[in-house]
Amino acid sequence: MTEFFQSELWQEAVKIFEAELISDIWQTIYSTVLSTLFAYIIGLPLGVLLVAGEEDGVMPIPRWLMNALNVVINILRSVPFLILMIIALPLSRFIVGSGIGTPAMIPPLIIAAFPFIARLVESSLRETDRGVIEAAQSMGATPMQIIRKVMLPEAMPSLISGAALAFATIMGYGAMAGIIGGRGLGFLAINYGLYRKIWIVKWAAVILLVVLVQIFQSAGTKLAVKSDKRITQITKRRKTR
């Protein structure tokens, strides 16, 4: 064991950790949070529209438009992220002025994530009790009121769980973006673990990615449970007994 910690491989790994580890952890969190935020800005309204815009929805839209939305979302979801990332590089150069680095990987992450998020939101909203929506309609609520005050609040536990899943997925995409020079834990694993054969750095980056995903996934699960009215009501009843 002493020989291992005195080896050149370990010493080199320590130098890499001291110089880059904290920065790359921050870059991973930063790029994931920013990409998730912008992906939700696009994906959340699309997911709502996919449910509310149906023929029997609260805000019907033309069938051709609904079909076009579904086709676009399905096409973007079917393209592997590595290929999508390469296709989106010109867009990154246009927006951020560079095709490498952390800023350059954010547009491909957004493009890859928002169709996935739209489907997550759609699935969550479909769990809303139809009777609650019909009751709101009978009381004269407008489509936007039904969406904001009925559909989204009723689906909140599922939406939060979906957000945690989306965050973990985008973090995985971000790790793959290390191939184009996007800084982060994926860059450490690829640049030092794959190309330079420093397996200590590779496995350290993998373990840290797993830990980060577990932290955010656990936080999302707890928030989803707390926002679930059924669970909170049951808990209150047990406490009053």
Whose structure tokens read 């952390």? 102
Report if residue 188 sits inside a domain.
no
What DSSP line would sit under 188-241, residue for residue?
Answer: HIIIIIIIS--HHHHHHHHHHHHHHHHHHHHHHHHHHHHH-HHHHHHHHHHHH-
Contact in structure between 222 and 232 (CB atoms under 8 Å): no
Residue 211: pLDDT band by 50, 70, 90 thresholds? very high
Q: Both tokens of residue 18? A: 């001291």
Report if residue 205 sits inside a domain.
no
Can you tell me the distance from the alpha carbon of 160 to that of 156, in angstroms, rounded to the nearest whole number?
Answer: 6
- pLDDT the model gives residue 230: 56
Report if residue 200 sits inside a domain.
no
Can you tell me the distance from the alpha carbon of 186 to that of 209, in angstroms, rounded to the nearest whole number?
Answer: 8
Residue 241: pLDDT band by 50, 70, 90 thresholds? low
Q: Both tokens of residue 107? A: 């547009």
- Residues 31-41, mean pLDDT to the nearest whole number: 93
Indicate whether 152 pLDDT > 80: yes
pTM of the model: 0.86
Query: What CATH number did the domain enclosing 132 receive?
Result: 1.10.3720.10
Q: Which of 89, 73, 60 is nearest to 181 (CA)?
A: 89
The set of residues, in sequence order, having a beta carbon less than 8 Å from that of 32 and lying 6+ positions away, is: 109, 167, 170, 171, 174
Give residue 127's domain range.
26-181+210-240
Domain count, the chain: 1
Report if residue 104 sits inside a domain.
yes
- pLDDT the model gives residue 239: 53
Return the sign of the alpha-carbon dihedral for residues 18, 85, 91, 167: negative
Report if residue 236 sits inside a domain.
yes
Can you tell me the distance from the alpha carbon of 98 to that of 56, in angstroms, rounded to the nearest whole number?
Answer: 46
Whose structure tokens read 């190309």? 195
Report if residue 2 sits inside a domain.
no
pLDDT > 90: what percent of the chain?
25
Beta carbons within 10 angstroms of residue 119's beta carbon = 19
Angle at 73 (CA atoms; ends 70, 78), nearest 5 degrees: 120
Report if residue 196 sits inside a domain.
no
Q: Which of 93, 101, 109 is nearest to 183 (CA)?
A: 101
- pLDDT the model gives residue 234: 45
Residue 229: pLDDT band by 50, 70, 90 thresholds? low
Q: What is the DSSP letter of 95?
A: H
Q: What is the DSSP letter of 79?
A: S
Contact in structure between 127 and 155 (CB atoms under 8 Å): yes
Specify the DSSP element, H or E, that contains 89: helix 81-96
Report if residue 46 sits inside a domain.
yes
